């Protein structure tokens, strides 16, 4: 067994390890500063970006739910499924508006589609073109006032009402066939929750 001997303390006259030179000190301080900036700056930047996105999201939702008329764009897939409004692809001039109260929920949708798109839409409702009746304005005056739609005057108007038992939605449909290749479709789907 080897015994360890106590070591003698360094004499005060020994210079010891060499001191840190200026260049090394500057590098060490710069590295320390960089680490501090990263530890504080990155999370702070993330929080700022996240807050901005959250604020923008709230504004988008506020605008959506404050809408008082038709909004350009497609209703969400969830809305289309709940109200059973199968907007066909391709469709142009798509706009929608949803109202809800304790008594009735309604989704108003308009779109222009092709002849084939009209057939797809009607098949999605479970009907065919024979269900459309000429000069039948199936959408109420109240719904026309809410949306700004006007079905009076000249035009080749066709309509139908697809009634279903609650809580399944009932759809009121009016089709403008002035351009038979590109009919304009107006739908009010309403349900009692």
Q: Give the per-residue pLDDT at 23.
A: 86
Which string of b and e fits 51-66 if b means at least 16 CB within 10 Å? eeeeeeeeeeeeeeee
pLDDT digits (tens, 9 = 90+) for 135-167: 888 888 898 888 888 887 667 899 899 888 878
pLDDT digits (tens, 9 = 90+) for 24-75: 888 889 999 899 888 888 888 888 888 878 776 666 655 555 556 788 999 9
User: At which residue do the structure tokens 């840190």 appear?
Assistant: 20
Residue 15 has pLDDT above 70, yes or no: no
Higher-confidence residue of 97 and 58: namely: 97
Distance CA 65, CA 56 (A): 14
Distance CA 97, CA 156 (A): 24
Q: Are 117 and 90 in contact (CB under 8 A)?
A: yes
Query: For residue 89, how many other CB atoms are within 10 A of its CB?
Result: 10
Is the whole-model pTM more than 0.75?
no
Residue 2 has pLDDT above 80, yes or no: no
Q: Give the per-residue pLDDT at 134.
A: 87
pLDDT digits (tens, 9 = 90+) for 119-143: 999 999 889 888 888 888 888 889 8
* DSSP 8-state symbol, 21: P
Q: Give the per-residue pLDDT at 120.
A: 93
Alpha helices in the chain (DSSP H): 22-66, 77-82, 115-125, 141-147
String of DSSP letters for 37-81: HHHHHHHHHHHHHHHHHHHHHHHHHHHHHH--S-EESPPPHHHHH
188 strand-pairing partners: 108, 172
């Amino acid at each position: 067994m080897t015994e360890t001997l106590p070591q003698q303390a360094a004499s005060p006259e020994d210079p010891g390890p060499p001191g840190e030179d200026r260049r090394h000190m500057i590098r060490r301080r710069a590295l320390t500063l960089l680490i501090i900036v990263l530890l504080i700056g990155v999370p702070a930047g993330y929080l700022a970006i996240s807050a901005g996105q959250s604020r923008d999201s709230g504004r988008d939702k506020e605008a959506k739910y404050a809408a008082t008329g038709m909004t350009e764009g497609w209703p969400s897939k969830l809305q289309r499924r709940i109200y059973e409004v199968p907007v066909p692809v391709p469709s142009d001039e798509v706009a929608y508006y949803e109202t809800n109260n304790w008594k009735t929920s309604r989704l108003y949708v308009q779109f222009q589609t092709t002849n084939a798109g009209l057939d797809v839409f009607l098949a999605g409702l479970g009907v065919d073109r024979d269900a459309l009746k000429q000069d039948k304005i199936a959408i109420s005056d109240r719904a026309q006032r809410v949306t700004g739609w006007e079905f009076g005057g000249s035009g080749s108007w066709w309509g139908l009402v697809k009634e279903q038992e609650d809580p399944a939605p009932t759809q009121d449909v009016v089709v403008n066939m002035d351009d038979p290749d590109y009919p304009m479709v107006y739908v009010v789907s309403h349900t009692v929750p």
